[in-house]
């Protein structure tokens, strides 16, 4: 992505893989290595049978990843998030019930997403 070099700390970026989209905050861009240090914010999972091309699916799950691990991943995997895409999700994230903020579940969901990304984009990690 050419625009990836323009990522700035604090910017929200997205990474789609399969039926899920990871929204993260940029902490730092390491241009020399073409990697991005991001802090995952939330994982949006679509209900089966839906397509990510529909930006506003009616049925999705939202996982709070703010207490999880940071990632150092290739810049090429990310795109700048569109404001209209994440503003309502961020407000929903703030209002999630305590039971939906289970750290162990969120950690497992992030790990599963990481595994899917590694499998889907193996050349990006070489």
pLDDT at 32: 92
Pick the more confident residue, 34 or 48.
34
Structure tokens at 60: 């999705």
Examine the pLDDT at 99 and tell me if it is beyond 60: no
Residue 52 confidence class, pLDDT cut points 50, 70, 90: low
Q: Quick check: helix, strand or coil at residue 75?
A: helix
CA-nearest of 24, 21, 25, 20 to 10 is 25
pLDDT at 1: 41
pTM for this structure?
0.84
The answer to whether 74 and 34 are in contact (CB under 8 A) is yes
Segment 6-20 mean pLDDT: 94
| CA 61 to centroid of chain Cα atoms | 13
């Amino acid at each position: 992505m050419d625009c990836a070099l323009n990522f700035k700390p604090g910017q929200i970026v997205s990474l789609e893989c399969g039926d899920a989209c990871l929204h993260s905050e940029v902490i730092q861009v390491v241009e020399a290595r073409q990697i991005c240090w991001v802090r995952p914010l939330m994982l949006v999972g679509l209900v089966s049978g839906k397509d990510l091309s529909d930006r506003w699916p009616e049925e999705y799950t939202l996982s709070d990843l703010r207490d999880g691990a940071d990632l150092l991943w290739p810049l090429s995997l990310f795109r700048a998030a569109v404001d209209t895409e994440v503003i309502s999700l961020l407000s929903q994230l703030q209002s999630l019930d305590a039971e939906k903020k289970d750290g162990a579940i969120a950690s497992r969901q992030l790990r599963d997403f990481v595994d899917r990304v590694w499998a889907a984009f193996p050349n990006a990690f070489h």
